[in-house]
């Protein structure tokens, strides 16, 4: 065990506790697969304890005042800002983030917590007209109870800050199950909420392998709402469990997002959008625009400009702001990326740049001449790999862009507003960005997709719906 490796337990009742069977999970630094930390490897008993503790806490927490919850959330945002460097270091060393991505994620998370403060006074209802004389008819919102929050490895702080803070803002409590590849970040976030003043058990964290204990959490009878970010396969499984038990569920899943570049686009902006939209966090993003469609009139110029920029993306020290490409999170994911690249090569695709590896880092890769026989054509690679296609007219590209089971994010670069709006109306995706990258998010927007990309939406307004129940109340006055 590395001398400086941390040892951490679950976070239950505002303290660190070991796994019920003493099991330990190793968290590795993806740069070189060295040991970063040892955390508790959760069991079904650990999940049960965490949920029951959160439920017991909910009975009192739901009665906390708006002033108290606002104060705790404001303090949490303040503490995260003060401890920014600590969280940036965890994102780099446990998750393989570059400094630029870690700073972006931390700053965004501070904003998400501050946005949650606004939810506190939006847990409200309205008066309604009634068919009956002397009747006062009204609605109000009540917190659902314990929310299961299941977060991914790629943006763990963004997801924890948004979803846990939003749940707590409504008066619900939460149990957080982080990715087994990024558990320390979640435990440190829970400690921060304790320091911000949140009551014991308002947020519990159980670490471990989601394949082993995820069902214990989502199917637990005291869990009233589930929010999951991860793969489509797991998301559909969770959706089935929630359907059986009639639970509210929000799923933010995979993406194979299209970026369309018309012949009237500003090519410099389009190139930058395609770089950011694909290679942020080395392509490990559900909103990554891994399919780029370029009009035939500008295809040669775009490819030349794009390949030149992509081939020079920095792969140096992760703490260097000029470094763009970091390591891929795990050996399993590295093998998937290698398979997609080699499969494309063997079936006739050309590698315009990249396709090589430096340790656990895959160089930013641009594939041309990709066809439907190749895995990279339809499957989500979730790495620094982009397929660039040529098209001749708008109707053709709309058909190709919609030829996917996914429908998360999308983007178009054009100077024609009519064409831009036609794209926005016609694209089968939950989010559309005109003259900006597909990899975009804000605290209050409805974030999510359609098809295999998810079910429901995240965001302050959407989470207010997800984490509360609407209740109808009448009073007969005479």
Q: Which residues are catalytic?
A: 252, 286
Q: What count of other Cβ atoms lies within 10 Å of the Cβ of residue 230? A: 22
Sheet holding 365-368, edge to edge: 350-353, 365-368, 385-391, 291-295, 258-261, 409-413, 431-434
Of 437, 451, 457, the closest CA to residue 407 belongs to 451
3-state helix, strand, coil in the chain (%, to 5): 40, 25, 35
Beta strand ranges found along 369-430 (DSSP E): 385-391, 406-407, 409-413
Q: Is the dihedral of CA 212, 218, 219, 223 positive or negative?
A: positive
* Of residues 62, 60, 17, the one with CA closest to residue 42: 17
The position carrying tokens 């990258």 is 437
DSSP secondary structure string, 123-182?
----EE--SSTTEEEEEEEEE-SEEEEE--SSSHHHHHHHHHHHHHHHT-EEEEE--TTS
CA distance 309 to 407: 28
CA–CA separation, 440 vs 425, rounded Å? Answer: 19
- Name the residue with tokens 């435990």: 187
Residue with tokens 């989010």: 431
Helix residue ranges per DSSP H, 8-83: 44-61, 66-82
Alpha-carbon span 292 to 307, nearest angstrom: 13
């Amino acid at each position: 065990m590395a001398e400086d490796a941390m040892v951490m337990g679950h976070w239950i009742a505002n303290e660190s506790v070991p796994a019920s069977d003493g099991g330990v999970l190793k968290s590795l630094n993806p740069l070189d697969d060295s040991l970063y930390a040892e955390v508790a490897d959760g069991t079904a008993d650990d999940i049960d304890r965490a949920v029951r503790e959160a439920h017991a806490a909910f009975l009192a927490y739901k009665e906390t005042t708006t002033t108290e919850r606002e104060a705790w959330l404001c303090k949490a945002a303040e503490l995260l800002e003060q401890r920014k460097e600590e969280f940036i270091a965890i994102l780099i060393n446990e998750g393989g983030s570059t400094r630029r991505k870690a700073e972006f994620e931390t700053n965004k998370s501070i904003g998400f917590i501050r946005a949650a403060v606004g939810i506190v006074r939006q847990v409200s209802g309205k008066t309604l007209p009634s068919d009956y004389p002397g009747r006062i008819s009204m609605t109000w919102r009540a917190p659902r109870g314990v929310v299961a929050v299941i977060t991914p490895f790629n943006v763990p702080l963004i997801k924890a800050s948004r979803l846990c803070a939003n749940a707590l803002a409504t008066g619900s409590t939460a149990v957080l199950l982080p990715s087994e590849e990024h558990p320390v970040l979640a435990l440190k976030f829970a400690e921060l909420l304790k320091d911000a003043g949140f009551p014991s058990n308002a947020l519990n964290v159980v670490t471990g392998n989601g394949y082993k204990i995820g069902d214990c959490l989502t199917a637990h009878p005291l869990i009233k709402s589930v929010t999951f970010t991860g793969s489509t396969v797991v998301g559909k499984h969770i959706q089935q469990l929630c359907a059986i038990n009639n639970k509210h569920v929000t799923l933010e899943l995979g993406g194979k997002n299209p970026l369309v570049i018309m012949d009237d686009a500003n090519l410099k902006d389009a190139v930058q959008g395609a770089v950011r939209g694909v290679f942020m966090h080395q392509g490990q993003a559900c909103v990554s625009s891994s399919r780029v469609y370029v009009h035939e009139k500008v295809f040669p110029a775009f490819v030349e400009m794009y390949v030149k920029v992509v081939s020079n993306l920095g792969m140096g020290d992760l703490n260097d702001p000029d470094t763009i490409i970091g390591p891929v999170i795990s050996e399993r994911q590295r093998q998937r990326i290698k398979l997609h690249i080699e499969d494309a090569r063997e079936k006739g695709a050309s590698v315009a740049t990249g396709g090589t590896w430096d340790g656990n880092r895959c160089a930013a890769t641009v594939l041309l001449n990709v066809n439907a026989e190749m895995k990279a054509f339809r499957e989500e690679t979730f790495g620094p790999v982009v397929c660039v296609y040529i098209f001749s007219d708008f109707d053709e590209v709309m058909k190709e862009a919609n030829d996917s089971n996914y429908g998360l994010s999308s983007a178009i670069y054009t100077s024609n507003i009519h064409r831009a709006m036609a794209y926005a109306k016609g694209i089968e995706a939950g989010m559309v960005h005109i003259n900006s990258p597909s990899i975009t998010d804000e605290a209050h927007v409805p974030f999510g997709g359609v098809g295999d990309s998810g079910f429901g939406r995240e965001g302050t307004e959407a989470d207010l719906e997800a984490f509360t129940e609407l209740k109808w109340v009448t009073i007969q006055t005479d």
